[in-house]
């Protein structure tokens, strides 16, 4: 069998056709120093693809590739990316349990109670508060429309960018410390695209619920029907919950975008964003006390007005 130096001279023109090496390397158990130099000059991912199933693969990865930290850099995405997603997943799991068990400790749960009281106030006198209620809901619809438009626009731009650069060279490979295979690059862009599509769908559902509530909140027939009022409040909260989910999808797109530049920035972004979200999602005792006092005052006013009417 000819030596590798004769099969593949150290020439950039022959590197692109190095797929023919696979047929000539079967049976080689070890490489010399010159052969290791040639393999190291090839693209790392191409070497992994070519030699992974050959008898000499284990020897090369141990003696040749390990000298330059090939496997260490290649394995960073397998360790740091799931670790960053696990940090955000654990935090949002804790947030969900806190919302279900002690909602007043979270901004989402506290706002849900405030919206429920707001619905009771609006339906108490729909002829007087109808314009205010519809205007408030319309502002929420405009916010959801803006986020939905932004999400679908970014999704389209990412799709065009991926399709236009699929056959071109990766210009940011020098800035990336991690796996640079085309498969991983496609997974990165697909993850960002999936986040924006989820954000778009959540905001569309939010608009759907807000539009439905804008009709129900002005109905005079719902004034004395407790079940109907609860249905309107529940629909309004569902619209707000979908808006929050769409916003979370935007938040998740930030670390996924930094993943393009490597798994280390992605992990740092996940940790920093988790700390920021903790302070944004939790309430302080002062906020909870003010909220409780406002609800008590509102209930007292409702009782007094009901006595005056009777």
**Together in a domain, 272 and 198:** yes
pLDDT in tens, 156-206: 888 888 777 655 554 456 667 777 778 888 888 899 999 999 999 999 999
**Together in a domain, 63 and 196:** no
Buried b / exposed e over 103-141, threshold 16 CB at 10 Å, is bbbbbbbbbbbebbbbbbebbbebeebbeebbebbeebb
Q: Assess contact for 245 and 202: CB atoms under 8 A.
A: yes
**Together in a domain, 60 and 187:** no
Residue at which a domain ends, from 43, 68, 93 = 68
**pLDDT cut 70: percent of the chain above it:** 65
pTM of the model: 0.69
**Together in a domain, 52 and 95:** no
Label residue 96 by pLDDT band (50, 70, 90). Answer: very high
**Together in a domain, 41 and 84:** no
**Together in a domain, 206 and 262:** yes
- Show Cβ contacts of residue 284 under 8 Å, excluding neighbours closer than 6 positions: none
**Together in a domain, 61 and 184:** no
Report the residue count for the chain.
310
Range of the domain at 8: 4-68
More confident residue, 222 or 5: 222
- Number of domains within the chain: 2
User: Residue 179 burial (CB < 10 Å; 0-12/13-18/19+)?
Assistant: buried
Residue at which a domain ends, from 40, 68, 96 = 68
- pLDDT > 80? residue 79: yes
**Together in a domain, 119 and 240:** yes
**Together in a domain, 252 and 277:** yes
Residue 54: phi, psi to the nearest 5?
-90, 160
**Together in a domain, 154 and 243:** yes
SS3 call for 201: helix
**Together in a domain, 101 and 194:** yes
More confident residue, 271 or 47: 271
- pLDDT confidence of residue 199: 94
**pLDDT cut 90: percent of the chain above it:** 33
129-137 long-range Cβ contacts below 8 angstroms, 24+ apart = 130/217, 130/218, 133/214, 133/217, 133/218, 134/214, 134/217, 134/218, 137/210, 137/213, 137/214, 137/217, 137/236
Label residue 86 by pLDDT band (50, 70, 90). Answer: very high
pLDDT in tens, 260-288: 888 889 999 999 999 999 999 998 887 77
Q: Assess contact for 114 and 291: CB atoms under 8 A.
A: yes
- pLDDT > 80? residue 209: yes
- pLDDT confidence of residue 51: 46
CA distance readout (Å), 106 to 22, 246, 290: 59, 18, 14
* Average pLDDT value over all residues in the chain: 75
Residue at which a domain ends, from 35, 53, 68 = 68
**Together in a domain, 108 and 225:** yes
């Amino acid at each position: 069998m000819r030596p590798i130096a004769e099969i593949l001279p150290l020439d950039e023109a022959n590197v692109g056709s190095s797929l023919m090496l696979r047929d000539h390397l079967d049976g080689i158990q070890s490489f010399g120093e010159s052969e290791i130099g040639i393999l190291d000059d090839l693209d790392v991912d191409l070497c992994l693809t070519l030699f992974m199933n050959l008898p000499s693969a284990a020897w090369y990865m141990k003696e040749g590739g390990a000298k330059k930290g090939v496997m260490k850099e290649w394995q960073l995405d397998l360790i740091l990316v799931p670790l960053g997603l696990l940090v955000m997943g654990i935090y949002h799991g804790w947030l969900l349990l806190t919302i279900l068990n002690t909602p007043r400790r979270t901004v989402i749960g506290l706002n849900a109670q405030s919206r429920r009281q707001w619905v009771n106030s609006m339906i108490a006198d729909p002829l007087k508060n109808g314009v205010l209620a519809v205007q408030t809901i319309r502002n929420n619809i405009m916010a959801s429309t803006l986020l939905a438009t932004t999400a679908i626009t970014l999704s389209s731009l990412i799709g065009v960018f991926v399709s236009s650069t699929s056959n071109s060279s990766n210009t940011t490979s020098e800035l990336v410390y991690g796996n640079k295979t085309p498969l991983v690059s496609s997974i990165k862009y697909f993850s960002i695209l999936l986040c924006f599509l989820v954000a778009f769908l959540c905001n569309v559902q939010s608009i759907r619920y807000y539009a439905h509530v804008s009709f129900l909140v002005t109905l005079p027939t719902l004034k004395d029907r407790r079940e109907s009022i609860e249905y309107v409040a529940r629909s309004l909260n569902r619209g707000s919950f979908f808006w929050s989910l769409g916003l979370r999808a935007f938040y998740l797109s930030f670390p996924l975008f930094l993943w393009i530049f490597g798994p280390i920035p992605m992990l740092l972004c996940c940790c920093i964003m988790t700390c920021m979200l903790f302070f944004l999602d939790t309430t302080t005792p002062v906020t909870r006390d003010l909220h409780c006092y406002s609800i008590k005052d509102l209930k007292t006013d409702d009782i007094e007005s009901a006595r005056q009417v009777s």
